[in-house]
Structure 1
Amino acid sequence: MSPEQRLLNLLRPFLRLLPAGADLPMDAELGKLGLDSLQSIDLLMALEQEFGVTIPDEKITVDSFATPAHVLALVS
């Protein structure tokens, strides 16, 4: 499975406003799909576990969680 697909699968449970089965484009606005600041913390921990990385604090910004593409850049 590609890193992009792994990320999209990981993101879905955090996006309560994304209809089941709907496409999740890499440029989707995650905030509009239901990702809030508290969920971002949970997502951060899930990303570190799934991708086996540690994301430095200075890279964790609001913009880092704006779209799936931005999130993928954090773990690449």
Structure 2
Amino acid sequence: MNIQQQVLVLLDEVLSLNGRGLQFDADSPLLGSVPELDSMAVLAVIHAIEERFGISIPDDEIDGSSFATVGTVVDFVTRLSHA
């Protein structure tokens, strides 16, 4: 399973999208477009990313642009997991 597939599964689980998140692609907008992704859900997603990928996300690395689309989340995870 590649990083994008893992991110889709993670988003679907954390946001309780009941499979809807598995249909997203890299260009699918998230923040501001998926009602389930509010500020509290972003924290839950960050925690899940840290656990699933075994990375620690510094507070100064977190901003809204990282959660704009599925692709930006994948880029965010990829960059931090190779840091």
Going from structure 1 to structure 2, the CA distance change for 1:58 and 1:22 (only over 3 Å counts) comes to: closer
The correspondence of residues 1-76 of structure 1 with structure 2, limited to 5 A, is 1-13=1-13, 14=15, 16=17, 20=20, 23-31=23-31, 32-34=33-35, 35-76=37-78
Per-residue CA distance 1:5-59 (angstroms, 9 max, x = gap): 111110113164x874762011111131221111000000000000111112111
Contact 2:50 2:57 in 1 (8 A): yes
What percentage of aligned pairs have identical amino acids?
33
- Alignment coverage as a number of residue pairs: 75
Question: Kindly tell me: are residues 59 and 25 of structure 1, through their superposed partners in 2, closer, same or farther at Cα, counting changes over 3 Å?
Answer: same
The 1:22/1:45 distance shift into structure 2, 3 A limit, reads closer
Structure 1, unmatched stretches of 5+, are: none
Unaligned runs of at least 5 residues, structure 2 = 79-83
TM-score, with length taken from structure 2: 0.77
Segments ≥4 residues shifted beyond 4 Å: none
State TM-score, norm by structure 1.
0.83
| Counterpart contact for 2:12–2:21, Cα < 8 Å | no
* Cα distance in 1 for residues equivalent to 2:57 and 2:46: 8
